[in-house]
Structure 1
Amino acid sequence: MSQRVFSLTNEDETVALGRQLSALITPPLTLYLTGDLGAGKTTFSRGLIQSLGHQGAVKSPTYTLVEPYELPSMRVFHFDLYRLMDPEELEFMGIRDYFSDDCLCIVEWPDRGHGLLPEADVHLHIDYMEEGRTLRMDAITSKGKILIEQLK
Structure 2
Amino acid sequence: MNKLVIKNEQETKEFGLKLADRLRPGSLVALIGDLGTGKTALTKYIAQGLGIQEAITSPTFTIVQEYHQGRLPLYHFDVYRVSDPDELFEIGYEEYFFGQGVSVVEWADLILELLPEEAIVIRIAYGSQEGERIYDIEGLEAAE
TM-score normalized with structure 2 length = 0.89
Q: Which residue is 1:133 aligned to? A: 133
Q: Distance in 1 between the 2:64 and 2:107 partners?
A: 12
Q: Which residue is 1:18 aligned to? A: 16
Q: Which residue is 2:47 aligned to? A: 49
Q: Which stretches in structure 1 are left out of the alignment for 5+ residues?
A: none
Q: Please identify, of 23-32 and 41-50, the stretch whose mean Cα deviation from structure 2 is larger.
A: 23-32
Q: Which residue is 1:28 aligned to? A: 26
Aligned partner (choices 137, 141, 144) of residue 145 of structure 1: 141
Change (3 A) 1:7 1:117: closer
**Deviation for aligned residue 1:27:** 1.5
**Deviation for aligned residue 1:49:** 0.5
Change (3 A) 1:146 1:98: closer
CA contact (8 A) 1:32 1:120 kept: no
Q: Distance in 2 between the 1:59 and 1:120 partners?
A: 26
Q: Which residue is 1:60 aligned to? A: 58
Name the amino acid aligned to 1:127: A
Seq. identity, % = 35
CA contact (8 A) 1:31 1:120 kept: no
Find runs of 4+ consecutive structure 1 residues off by over 4 angstroms.
none
Q: Distance in 1 between the 2:37 and 2:110 partners?
A: 17
Residues 5-58 of structure 1: CA deviation (Å, up to 9, x unaligned): 211111221122101111122212111110111101111110010121111211
Q: Which stretches in structure 2 are left out of the alignment for 5+ residues?
A: none
TM-score normalized with structure 1 length = 0.84
RMSD, aligned CA: 1.7
User: What number of residue pairs does the alignment pair up?
Assistant: 142
Q: Which residue is 2:80 aligned to? A: 82
Q: Distance in 1 between the 2:41 and 2:68 partners?
A: 19
Q: Please identify, of 108-117 and 62-71, the stretch whose mean Cα deviation from structure 2 is larger.
A: 108-117
Q: Which residue is 2:38 aligned to? A: 40
**Deviation for aligned residue 1:72:** 4.5
Q: Distance in 1 between the 2:99 and 2:113 partners?
A: 20
Q: Distance in 2 between the 1:51 and 1:114 partners?
A: 25
